[in-house]
């Protein structure tokens, strides 16, 4: 009888399993349209989009790979082999989690603009033709870069594991590259070696800023009107003498962009990915470049470098405040236009968006070497045409420093692990049981007393 009962219930069990698999499939596909109420934990490098895997859905067919986009960036694909670009893992998946190609593409293009902008810096005043492009790029590329850093810090709550990752991923590279750039200044410019972590050199200020911004991330969810509060702090920083320690003036002036990223949600970025947004993006960017040509002989680049107060720039406080508000508005429009022009699908270079720390930290060594060897003196002598190869080389350097071989060689320096003696040992079950028993004994003794 028992065997017969099992035989009768077997078809129902199989049907229930199939029905459950069907429900799992539907639930997995519905994740893509789930409203963003709760965010996924440990979102540090890129926005993770939930997708249903074939294994979870009960499917035996592998997912189709989307072909790389042909168009804006496809011409670069012919120059570098794909195995050098992507490395041994697919760019779409990191640690089993899917990445958003839109944000990875944006990060890669921004770090290229960072390298190009730094290559223009030493001659921006000596070669007048460079200044309009310099003003145009600096009006949005660092604000947007900081905004994306805030966007990827939305889930930072100050937990011990998050603090350890912050120390290993930001603080340790800062200390290392502060020493490297100090040595570079000795070799290239004959300065005395001085390793001063409280006074960041060159582009190392950004690591200090990222460390401090991310530490404050939990604060901005605890106050009302956080963006307005951050804007007020940024404006006050330009009205006072903050000093040069820890690049605090620059860190505070860029603070609103980080807070803006913290408050952004993926649904708010979605309208920038459609065709309608791309239609107005190019006219806006071209119009901004025309405006930069008009502004070049009339304004100083210090307005965009965010490192001087109103007294150092030489304007009245009310003029300074009005100009900063205008720059905020212009930066917002240009950031939106740039994002609207970014490819929203996988390209051959989407993988570079996961490695932006490498070209960001390394390209400065090449630029300072070129400057120390007297290369920019030749550029000034030859004029604006000499800046064409300099710009192309800076962009190519950003691409080359993002490739998999470079990242594999320099990973211990740029992505170090926290030393073992700084990592607390996990408590054993015996210790936890003993502690719990001791606590219960103490409580019982207190109750008896």
**pLDDT for residue 97:** 52
pLDDT mean over 233-255:
93
Other CB atoms within 10 Å distance of the CB of residue 281: 19
**pLDDT for residue 142:** 96
Q: 287 pLDDT exceeds 80? A: yes
Q: 114 pLDDT exceeds 90? A: yes
User: What is the phi-psi region of residue 314: left when phi exceeds 0, alpha when psi lies from -120 to 50, beta otherwise?
Assistant: left
Closest CA to 150 of 53, 9, 10, 265: 265
**pLDDT for residue 429:** 59
| Structure confidence at residue 294 as a pLDDT band (50, 70, 90) | very high
pLDDT mean over 119-138:
95
- Provide the CB-side half-sphere exposure for 300 (13 A, CA): 13
**pLDDT for residue 376:** 95
Q: Following DSSP, what letter does each residue of 352-394 receive, concatenated? A: GGGGTHHHHHHHHHHHHHHHHTTHHHHHHHH-GGGHHHHHHHH
Residue 171 is classified by DSSP as I
Q: Following DSSP, what letter does each residue of 216-266 receive, concatenated? A: THHHHTTSSSHHHHHHHHHHHHHHS---SGGGHHHHHHTHHHHHHHHH--H
**pLDDT for residue 438:** 47
Of the listed ranges 16-20, 26-30, 109-113, 268-272, the least confidently predicted one is: 26-30
Other CB atoms within 10 Å distance of the CB of residue 325: 12
pLDDT, tens digit (0-9, with 9 covering 90-100), for 177-194: 999 999 999 999 988 898
Of the listed ranges 43-47, 134-138, 207-211, 307-311, the least confidently predicted one is: 43-47
Average pLDDT over the chain, rounded to an integer: 80
Q: 99 pLDDT exceeds 90? A: no
**pLDDT for residue 431:** 54
Q: 1 pLDDT exceeds 50? A: no
Rounded to whole angstroms, the Cα distance separating 180 from 174 reads 10
| 348 membership: H or E segment, kind and range | none
Rounded to whole angstroms, the Cα distance separating 324 from 314 reads 14
Pair 223, 252: CB distance under 8 Å: no
| pTM (two decimals) | 0.76
pLDDT mean over 349-373:
95
Closest CA to 152 of 110, 181, 122: 110
Of the listed ranges 68-77, 229-238, 325-334, 411-420, the least confidently predicted one is: 68-77
Q: 7 pLDDT exceeds 80? A: no
| Structure confidence at residue 336 as a pLDDT band (50, 70, 90) | very high
| 82 membership: H or E segment, kind and range | helix 82-86
pLDDT, tens digit (0-9, with 9 covering 90-100), for 50-78: 333 333 333 334 444 444 443 444 334 44
| Structure confidence at residue 154 as a pLDDT band (50, 70, 90) | very high
pLDDT, tens digit (0-9, with 9 covering 90-100), for 380-393: 999 899 999 999 99
Pair 354, 104: CB distance under 8 Å: yes
Pair 123, 377: CB distance under 8 Å: no
Residue 130 is classified by DSSP as G
**pLDDT for residue 432:** 52
**pLDDT for residue 123:** 95
Pick the more confident residue, 92 or 48.
92
Pair 397, 440: CB distance under 8 Å: no
Q: Following DSSP, what letter does each residue of 326-340 receive, concatenated? A: HHHHHHHHHHHHHHH
């Amino acid at each position: 009888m028992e065997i017969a009962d099992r035989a009768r219930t077997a078809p129902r069990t199989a049907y229930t399993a199939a029905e459950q698999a069907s429900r799992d499939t539907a639930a997995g596909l519905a994740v893509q349209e789930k409203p963003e109420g709760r965010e996924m934990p440990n979102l540090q490098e890129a926005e993770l989009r939930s997708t249903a895997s074939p294994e979870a859905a009960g499917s035996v067919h592998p997912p189709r790979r989307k072909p790389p986009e042909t168009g804006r960036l496809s011409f670069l694909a012919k120059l570098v082999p794909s195995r050098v670009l992507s490395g041994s893992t697919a760019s779409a998946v990191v640690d089993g989690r899917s990445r958003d190609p839109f944000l990875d593409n944006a990060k890669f293009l921004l770090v290229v603009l960072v390298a190009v902008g730094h290559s223009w810096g030493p001659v921006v005043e000596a070669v007048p033709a460079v200044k309009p492009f310099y003003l145009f790029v600096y009006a949005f590329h660092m604000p947007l870069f900081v905004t994306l850093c805030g966007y990827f810090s939305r889930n930072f709550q100050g937990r011990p594991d998050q603090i350890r990752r912050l120390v290993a991923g930001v603080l340790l590279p800062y200390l290392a590259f502060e020493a490297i750039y100090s040595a570079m200044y000795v070799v290239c410019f004959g300065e005395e070696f001085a390793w001063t972590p409280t006074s960041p050199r060159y582009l190392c200020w950004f690591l200090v800023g990222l460390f401090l911004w991310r530490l404050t991330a939990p604060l901005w969810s605890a106050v009302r009107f956080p963006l307005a509060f951050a804007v007020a702090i940024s404006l006050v920083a330009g009205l006072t003498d903050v000093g040069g320690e820890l690049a605090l003036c620059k860190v505070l002036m860029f603070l609103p962009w980080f807070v803006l990223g913290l408050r952004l949600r993926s649904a708010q970025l979605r309208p920038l990915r459609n065709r309608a947004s791309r239609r107005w993006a190019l006219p806006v960017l071209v119009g901004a470049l025309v405006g930069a040509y008009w502004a070049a002989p009339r304004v100083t680049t210090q307005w965009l470098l965010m490192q001087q107060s109103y007294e150092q720039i030489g304007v009245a406080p009310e003029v300074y405040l009005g100009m900063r508000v205008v720059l905020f508005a212009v930066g917002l429009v240009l950031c939106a236009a740039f994002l609207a022009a970014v490819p929203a699908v996988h390209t051959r270079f989407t993988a570079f968006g996961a490695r932006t720390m490498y070209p960001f930290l390394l390209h400065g060594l090449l630029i300072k070497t070129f400057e120390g060897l007297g290369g920019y003196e030749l550029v000034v002598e030859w004029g604006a045409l000499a800046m064409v190869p300099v710009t192309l080389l800076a962009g190519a350097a950003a691409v080359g420093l993002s490739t998999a071989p470079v990242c594999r060689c320099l990973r211990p320096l740029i992505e170090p692990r926290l030393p073992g003696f700084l990592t607390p040992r996990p408590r054993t079950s015996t210790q936890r049981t003993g502690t719990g028993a001791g606590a219960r004994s103490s409580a019982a003794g207190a109750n008896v007393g």
